[in-house]
């Protein structure tokens, strides 16, 4: 059983699902309209009231999760948390409230997870499709074939901002609606060509906003009854006739969604016009289902992050033999250092494999280039936090350690840095390591035990280890080397 928690800009949602044959069956679903994006003040900070409301919701979610025997839980945060200036203050409080790490995912990763949820729900191999998701703070467009994604883009335009910007105080009129539609079109016009109908067979709408709009159209017999341009325009006219969000009382629409559905409708009409979409199919699948499928694939050793690292190595022409050797030795030394958990093992391995990616930019300062690339590259499957951790490890692979001094206070991270640096040192010295001749410990100080004959056969390594001693001494860590017979 898996749980996916989606901290969206409009609502917080929770799914608990059970993998059952070829499907994941949802056994529990909870939604709380937190309106986190509406809780951003003029400076881009989450207000105290918004944070307290969110924390109370997360505590309720924690109690629900505790009622299930779960194999894995993943909590993801989207647009509002990506842009909140005080997100770093709120994040640890939120993690404490729900009891799990929270991953702030990029818009592109959000799109990939959405598509994964849709593709697995449809199970139509080879179908060329467009998937669209309009959220509270962002909109994702994904083009794919079957389970494979061909293109994904995220746009910083969502229902909350569009509603607050164009339907001020809840007032709805024709000029405001047309302005909201034109504004939406302006966000998508440059990106539109690859997403037009000649590139796909079926268009799917995965978000709650799109499903709600489709439901309103059907239940109120608007337009042609389909999710089409004719029906969307008919719904817009009905909203304009009502004149205010407080007067919207229609079958298919919960009262708590009325204030943001108008902005979502304007975005959807803008997309239909800009992309020339004839009709769209709403689908009950998306981000949370994609998160659960991703958890399932990780449990079966089909981790998309491995594919991303391999793809990055190929793209930047990394010497895979050298990279593999560094990774193998780094993991062996990290195991000797006995970290308190295995939380950094995968990041250490991936950092080792990608440590030379910066050579594609320049030999000089390649570790700095590699650090920047890994932190900012589009690596499917990775969270922002994982990429930042890898970036710091890669930055620390050579030179002084003062540049990462603030994170060396984490003992396991310091051990990972030491293992990576020594592994790269040995690789450059072309030493085939026999780990029966090397013992490494790190507690209050670093202790390295090696065979005297081992140093004699590799004279340059003693110079590099002495330099390594100096670097650790600069950050207040004693480094002792013992050579035995």
Domains by residue range for the chain, with CATH = 2-104 (3.30.420.40), 108-290 (3.30.420.150), 303-435 (1.10.3210.10)
Q: What's residue 485's pLDDT?
A: 63
- Spell out the residues 6+ positions from residue 9 whose beta carbon is closer than 8 angstroms to its own: 36, 37, 78, 79, 80, 135, 136, 137, 138, 158, 160
Asked if the model's pLDDT at residue 430 lies above 80, the reply is: no
Q: What's residue 240's pLDDT?
A: 96
Q: What's residue 75's pLDDT?
A: 95
339: left (phi over 0), alpha (psi -120 to 50) or beta: beta
Q: Which residue has the tokens 């000797």?
A: 336
Q: What's residue 454's pLDDT?
A: 66
Average pLDDT value for residue range 321-348: 93
Q: How far, in Å, are 219, 259, 265, 268, 308 from residue 247 at the CA level? A: 18, 10, 16, 21, 49
CA gap 338, 442 in Å, rounded: 9
Q: What's residue 201's pLDDT?
A: 96
Q: Which residue has the tokens 């995912």?
A: 105
Average pLDDT value for residue range 294-314: 88
* Cα dihedral 45, 49, 54, 57 in deg (nearest 10): 180
Asked if the model's pLDDT at residue 168 lies above 70, the reply is: yes
Average pLDDT value for residue range 109-137: 92
CA gap 404, 392 in Å, rounded: 7
Q: How does pLDDT run across 362-418, given as a tens digit for each residue?
A: 999 999 999 999 999 988 888 888 999 999 999 999 999 999 988 888 999 999 999
Q: What's residue 380's pLDDT?
A: 84
Average pLDDT value for residue range 412-429: 90
Percentage above 90 pLDDT, the chain:
69
Which of 329-333, 388-392, 448-452 shows the lowest mean pLDDT across its residues?
A: 448-452
Q: How far, in Å, are 78, 135, 138, 172, 233 from residue 265 at the CA level? A: 21, 11, 14, 12, 9
Q: What's residue 114's pLDDT?
A: 95
Which of 23-32, 225-234, 350-359, 375-384 shows the lowest mean pLDDT across its residues?
A: 375-384
Which of 87-101, 129-143, 268-282, 374-388 shows the lowest mean pLDDT across its residues?
A: 374-388
With cut-offs at 50, 70 and 90, classify the pLDDT of residue 273: very high
What's 366-404 look like in SS3? HHHHHHHHHHHCCCCCCCHHHHHHHHHHHHCCCCCCHHH
Q: What's residue 244's pLDDT?
A: 95
Entry pTM:
0.79
Average pLDDT value for residue range 111-119: 94
Query: Cα 315–318–324 angle (5° rounding)?
Result: 125
Mean pLDDT taken over the chain: 91
What letters, b where the CB count within 10 A reaches 16 and e where it falls short, cover 438-461? bebebeeebebebeeebeeebeeb
Q: What's residue 123's pLDDT?
A: 85
Q: How does pLDDT run across 230-271, given as a tens digit for each residue?
A: 999 999 999 999 999 999 989 998 888 888 999 999 999 999
Q: What's residue 374's pLDDT?
A: 96
Q: How does pLDDT run across 198-239, given as a tens digit for each residue?
A: 999 999 999 889 999 999 999 999 999 999 999 999 999 999
């Amino acid at each position: 059983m898996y749980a996916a928690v989606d901290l969206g800009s409009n609502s917080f949602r929770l799914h608990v699902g059970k993998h059952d044959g070829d499907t994941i069956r949802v056994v529990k679903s909870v939604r709380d309209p937190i309106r986190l994006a509406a809780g951003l003040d003029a400076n881009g900070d989450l207000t105290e009231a918004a944070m307290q409301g969110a924390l109370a919701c997360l505590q309720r979610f924690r109690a629900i999760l505790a009622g299930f025997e779960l194999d894995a839980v993943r909590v993801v945060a989207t647009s509002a948390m990506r842009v909140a200036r005080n997100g770093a203050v709120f994040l640890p409080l939120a993690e404490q409230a729900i009891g799990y790490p929270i991953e702030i995912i990029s818009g592109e990763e959000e799109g990939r997870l959405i598509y994964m949820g849709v593709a697995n729900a449809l199970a139509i191999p080879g179908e060329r499709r467009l998937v669209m998701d309009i959220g509270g703070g962002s909109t994702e467009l994904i083009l794919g074939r079957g389970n494979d994604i061909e293109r994904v883009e995220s746009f910083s335009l969502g229902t909350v901002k569009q509603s607050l910007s164009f339907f001020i105080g809840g007032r709805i009129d024709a000029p405001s609606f047309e302005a909201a539609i034109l504004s939406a079109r302006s966000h998508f016009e440059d990106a539109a060509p690859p997403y037009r109908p000649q590139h796909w067979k079926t268009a799917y709408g995965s978000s709650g906003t799109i499903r709600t709009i489709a439901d309103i159209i059907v239940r109120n017999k608007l337009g042609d009854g389909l999710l089409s341009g004719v029906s969307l325009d008919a719904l817009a006219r009905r909203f304009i006739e009502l004149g205010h969000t407080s007067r919207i009382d229609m079958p298919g629409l919960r009262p708590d969604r009325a204030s943001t559905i108008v902005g979502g409708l304007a975005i959807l009409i803008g997309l239909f016009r800009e992309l020339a979409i004839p009709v769209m199919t709403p689908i009950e699948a998306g981000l949370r289902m994609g998160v659960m499928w991703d958890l399932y694939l990780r449990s079966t050793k089909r981790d998309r992050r491995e594919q991303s690292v391999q793809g990055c190595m190929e793209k930047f022409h990394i010497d895979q033999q050298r990279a593999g050797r560094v990774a193998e030795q780094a993991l062996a030394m990290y195991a000797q250092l006995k970290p308190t958990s295995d939380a950094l093992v995968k990041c250490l391995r991936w950092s080792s494999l990608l440590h030379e990616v910066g050579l594609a930019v320049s030999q000089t300062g390649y570790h700095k280039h590699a650090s920047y690339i890994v932190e900012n590259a589009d690596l499917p499957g990775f969270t922002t936090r994982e990429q930042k951790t890898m970036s710091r490890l890669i930055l620390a692979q050579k030179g002084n350690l003062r540049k990462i001094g603030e994170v060396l206070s984490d003992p396991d991270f310091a051990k990972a840095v030491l293992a990576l640096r020594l592994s790269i040192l040995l690789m450059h010295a072309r030493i085939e390591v026999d780990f029966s001749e090397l013992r490494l410990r790190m507690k209050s100080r670093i202790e390295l035990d090696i065979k005297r004959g081992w140093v004699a056969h590799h004279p340059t390594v003693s110079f590099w280890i002495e330099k390594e001693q100096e670097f650790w001494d600069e950050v207040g860590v004693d480094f002792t080397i013992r050579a035995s017979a």
